[in-house]
Amino acid sequence: MPRVARLIAQFTGRELGQAVRLSVYDSYLEIAMESGPEGVAVRVPMEELGRVAVEEVVGIPMLIIEDVEGILVAGLRMEAPDARQAESLIGQLRES
């Protein structure tokens, strides 16, 4: 039987002026954005994640998510506490 991923936490951010939901599962991240009548979602397996960091861009905290090749997957504007919590949680899951 296939393993079902377990949802650990969800965060809300903004990218390109739209609300974005970051769902952290035990084995992947899902970044979802509403776009028109349907939404767009991208799943990134934990083993394909590269750098995950909180950076200040023009004084605004952003959660930066890159793949293993250094390509930007998402740059989400978030409240600083949420961005740091997401960064820490993703780091812990990657180490386990």
Parent domain of 38:
7-95
DSSP assignment of 45-86 equals EGGGEEEEEEEEETTEEEEEEEETTS-EEEEEE--HHHHHHH
Question: Which single residue is written with the structure tokens 């905290």?
Answer: 61
Residue 2, in any domain of the structure: no
84 part of a folded domain:
yes
Supply the CATH number for residue 54's domain.
2.30.29.30
Distance of CA 79 to the CA centre of its chain: 14
Q: Is residue 24 part of a domain?
A: yes
Residue at 43: amino acid letter: R
Taking alpha carbons only, the member of 46, 51, 49, 17 closest to residue 34 is 17
Residue 86 tokens, joined: 């997401």
The number of distinct structural domains making up the chain is: 1
Quote the pTM value.
0.87
pLDDT per residue as tens digits for the range 9-47: 999 999 888 899 999 999 999 999 977 677 889 999 999
